[in-house]
Amino acid sequence: MDIKYTTPEAFLEDAGFIGWLTGTDTAQAKAWGEWMNAHPEMQPVADAAARIFNELHVPETVAESQVNQAEARLQQALRGTGKTVNLYRKWIGIAAAAAVLAVVAAGFFLYRNNTPNPLLQTSYGQTTSKVLPDGSEVMMNANSTIEYTNGWQDGKDREVWLKGEAFFHVKKTPNKSRFIVHTGTVDVIVTGTKFNVDTRDSLMHILLTEGSVTLKTNDGQEIHMKPGDYALLDSQHHLQLKTAREESVLAWKEHKLVFDNTPIKDVVTAIEQQYGLHVKLADEATGRQTVSGILPNDSLDVLLQSLEGLTYKITRDQDTITIAKP
């Protein structure tokens, strides 16, 4: 079976799944049992669907005319949404068909409206990789959040909201559904591509490594990017293409920080963003220094030791770090 359901509602709209739950269709029971064994990651969603189904009270005897009327009302409500309900009564019986209607109606009018969007988060000092419902992959940098809409369907926009930094490898769908990353100031619009988005300071940075991307700002600016392009939205909300070294921008994915005559104040910003600590410079002379090199960023202690290796003196007092020249 080629099943790509991601919500309890989607499972409960499948008459075969209902037949499996109720034991009224032995062929479906065998097929679904084999599918569940092969996809253990979907067990929590299927269990949620089963709980919703079992909590419904459906009479032992239900008039077919009642089911017909309920189905007609629900189909009318679904008209224009792209959703349909197929009951296949000959497979699952009238009572089970009534249960399907009750579940789908509840899911459409209540569950969908009251279920919060899924949320992915990383804490300070943490990076993680996740797979989105369509198979797209995302790697998140520290102190980042991704929210995405429920029930992605091919042919409709796949939308996520990003705060922080993440690298996306977007899977192209058969109908070339758009994948949109909302950042608050810029929408990154793609169909299938690889790109990095960083929203962690007052600027917005986007690096495209593969495919194509369209950027649209809230005030109507638009830029089309090609592989290798690096876009910047500055503090004045001007969107422009810049040059950047891909290995420097993406070094965080390999737990590294790359500096090339980088002002020490930018190093301070990087530490604060990554670890959530307050970092200060001992004096103005230290602030005029620059840093060059590739520093390991597996942990805060490792990073601070590396800075000390560059002849800086590091002092740590609880959540405050002071950087000085010796």
Distance (Å, whole) CA 263 – CA 271 = 13
Check whether residue 31 and residue 141 sit in a common domain: no
Q: Are strands 179-182 and 186-190 parallel, antiparallel or unpaired?
A: antiparallel
- Between helix 43-55 and helix 89-106 the angle, nearest 10°, is 90
> Could you tell me if 215 and 134 lie in one domain?
yes
Distance CA 304, CA 320 (A): 13
Residue 224: per-residue pLDDT = 93
Q: What's the CATH number where 124 sits?
A: 2.60.120.1440
Reply yes or no on whether the pLDDT at 48 is more than 60.
yes
pLDDT in tens, 134-159: 999 999 999 999 999 887 888 889 99
Mean pLDDT within 300-304:
91
- Domain hosting 280: range is 255-324
pLDDT at 86: 46
User: Tell me, what's the pLDDT at 43?
Assistant: 77
128 and 107 in a common domain: no
Q: Find the mean pLDDT for residues 68-75.
A: 50
User: What's residue 65's pLDDT?
Assistant: 57
Q: Specify if 307 maps to a domain.
A: yes
| 114 against 80, higher pLDDT | 114
The answer to whether residue 105 is domain-embedded is: yes
Q: Report the domain count for the chain.
A: 3
In a domain, 208, yes or no: yes
Together in a domain, 124 and 110? no
- Domain boundary among the residues 91, 114, 137 is at 114
If phi > 0 it is left, if psi is from -120 to 50 it is alpha, else beta; for residue 291 that is beta
Tell me the CATH number at 312: 3.55.50.30
pLDDT higher than threshold 90 for residue 91: no
Q: Return mean pLDDT, the chain.
A: 80
Q: Does residue 154 sit in the same domain as residue 93?
A: no
Q: How confident is the model at residue 25 (pLDDT cuts 50, 70, 90)?
A: low
Whether 53 has a pLDDT exceeding 50, the answer reads: yes
CB atoms inside a 10 Å sphere around CB 48: 16
Same domain, residue pair 219 and 319: no
High-pLDDT (> 90) share of the chain, %: 40
pLDDT band, very low/low/confident/very high, at 130 (cuts 50, 70, 90): very high
| Cβ-Cβ contacts under 8 Å for 41 (sequence gap 6 or more) | none
Residues 178 and 147 in one domain: yes
Residues 86 and 77: their CA atoms lie apart, in Å, by 15
pTM equals 0.64
**Quick one: 217 and 100 in the same domain?**
no
Instruction: Count how many Cα atoms sit within 13 Å of the Cα of residue 37 in the half-sphere of its side chain.
Output: 6
pLDDT digits (tens, 9 = 90+) for 206-232: 999 999 999 999 888 999 999 999 999
In a shared domain, residues 300 and 216? no
